[in-house]
Amino acid sequence: MGISRGKQENCSPSSAKVEKKGKFLALDLGGTNFRVILLELDSSLELNCQVKYYTVPESLRLGEGELLFDFLAECIESFLKDNNLLGQKLPLGFCFSFPMDQTGIDEGILVTWTKSFNCPNVVGHEVVKILKNALEKRKDVAIDVVAIINDTTGTMMMGSYLDKRSAIGLILGTGCNASYFEKVERIHKWEGKHEGITEVIIDIEWGAFGDNGILDFMKTEVDKIVDENSLIVNSFTFEKLFSGKYIGEIVKQILLQLIDKNVLFHEVKLKPQNWTFTAADVSHSLEGKDLEKISDILKSKGFLETTLDDAEIVYYVCSVVSVRGSLIVSICLSSLLRRMDKKDVTIAVDGSLFKLHPKYKHYMEKFIAELAPNHKFQLILAEDGSGKGAGLVAAVVTSLDRSKLHA
């Protein structure tokens, strides 16, 4: 099995403190590209890390689950070799960005695959055990998987590292989800003891909000088409309204309707049949109101005779779709702010849509302020927060009594 290698980067966020120094690993799986991360806490407890990106081939994303985890183990082994760490026993935090039933700090049962993954024989199984089995096949790999978290929890952890006011973690990229601090007294389904604990992190999994039909009233014909063309139909309704995996397709379907009505590209004599419009295309189209740039994007799709009027229409469609998406997310975030009712909350955000879209942050700040006018907040980018946060969780867990960390 060959490894698709990516670039390795250095990263050194400063100013945060944790209690245990040493080396810790993180594996961040949630999309086509995944990361292996080495975090090092030096004697002054400053954080430095090495990040390497790998690509999961489609055959593995849709193939037998055991082969996927064997591939992850192979990439971890390659990373350790590149960093002269083979044979060293290192704790690893596993950021697994799919819905799971978490029965312990290092136990998670997959509920369903999302996004571009649909591997048989993993749903309903404990994924840390599968990963450990894959790692045990490699004799020079001595990794201890000490924690499994999802990407929002990792982002919250990294946000807290950067800003102690962080109380909400948001993923706004290929998919969308959030976590937040909830008062224990409000959790009626809590099982087990919780003496001395006043707040816990709740992973909302709001990407699937609306799967029961409660959001059907707001779905447009375009939304229905996007859902029908998705990998898993009638699932993850909420994030299909705006997330990075779908925002470009939403724009494309609107443009197709405008073409059919002879409103758009009516001067284009030969229209391409197979073309895509991506989240990156949406972002690039909204970087200033550069109609010539939008025309170049359209030409790259095969629309060779577009006019500036065409570019103006595309700009407008991208704007409307982006405003709608940012408003939907902001409604939910403002609801969390009102529910927590804290004096000052930092919302830590990770994800390509938030990072690369030129207007999303501005839109969100405006809408949240309007919807939660009496709550002070700020949005910060916790870049690679999901993976780095998993490494920080590994650092925390190794300093605790792990026998007490199970539900």
**DSSP-assigned states of every residue in 202-223:** EE--GGGTTTTSTTGGG--HHH
Please name the residues in contact with 255: beta carbons below 8 A apart, sequence gap of 6 or more. Answer: 264, 277, 314, 317
- Structural domain contains residue 211: no
Contact 147, 105 (CB under 8 A): yes
Please name the residues in contact with 124: beta carbons below 8 A apart, sequence gap of 6 or more. Answer: 109, 110
Out of 35, 243, 281, 310, which one is annotated catalytic? 35
What value does the mean pLDDT take over residues 225-229? 96
Confidence band, pLDDT 50/70/90 cuts, at residue 193? low
Q: What are phi and psi of 145, to 5 degrees?
A: -80, 105
One-letter amino acid for residue 108 of the chain: G
- Structural domain contains residue 302: no
What value does the mean pLDDT take over residues 233-250? 95
Residue 156: how many other CB atoms lie within 10 Å? 30
Which of the given ranges, 86-90, 129-133, 188-192, 232-236, has the highest pLDDT on average?
129-133
Predicted pLDDT of residue 231: 82
- Of residues 365 and 105, which shows the higher confidence score? 365
Flag whether pLDDT at 5 surpasses 60. no
- Structural domain contains residue 172: no
CA separation for the pair 224, 237 (Å, rounded): 10
Predicted pLDDT of residue 401: 54
Out of 28, 70, 151, 203, which one is annotated catalytic? 151
In this structure, what CATH number is given to the domain that contains residue 16? 3.30.420.40
Please name the residues in contact with 368: beta carbons below 8 A apart, sequence gap of 6 or more. Answer: 330, 333, 334, 337, 377
Q: Hey, what are 360's tokens?
A: 């999303």
309 is catalytic: no
What value does the mean pLDDT take over residues 206-231? 95
Q: What angle do CA 126, 130, 131 make, to 5 degrees?
A: 115
- Structural domain contains residue 370: no
DSSP for 216-248, written as a single string: GGG--HHHHHHHHTSSSTT--TTGGGTSHHHHH
Out of 28, 61, 70, 97, which one is annotated catalytic? 97
What is the domain count for the chain?
A: 1
pLDDT in tens, 367-389: 999 999 999 999 999 988 888 89
Stated as kind and residue range, the H or E segment containing 48 is strand 47-55
Alpha carbon of residue 268 to chain centroid? 38
Please name the residues in contact with 188: beta carbons below 8 A apart, sequence gap of 6 or more. Answer: none
- Of residues 19 and 281, which shows the higher confidence score? 281
Confidence band, pLDDT 50/70/90 cuts, at residue 17? very low
97 is catalytic: yes
What value does the mean pLDDT take over residues 271-292? 96
- Structural domain contains residue 214: no
One-letter amino acid for residue 29 of the chain: L
Q: Which domain, by its residues, includes 125?
A: 5-162+384-404
Confidence band, pLDDT 50/70/90 cuts, at residue 307? very high
Q: Hey, what are 295's tokens?
A: 């025309």
Predicted pLDDT of residue 9: 40
- In this prediction the pTM is 0.84
Contact 330, 176 (CB under 8 A): no
Flag whether pLDDT at 69 surpasses 90. yes
35 is catalytic: yes
Mean pLDDT of the chain: 89
What value does the mean pLDDT take over residues 332-352? 96
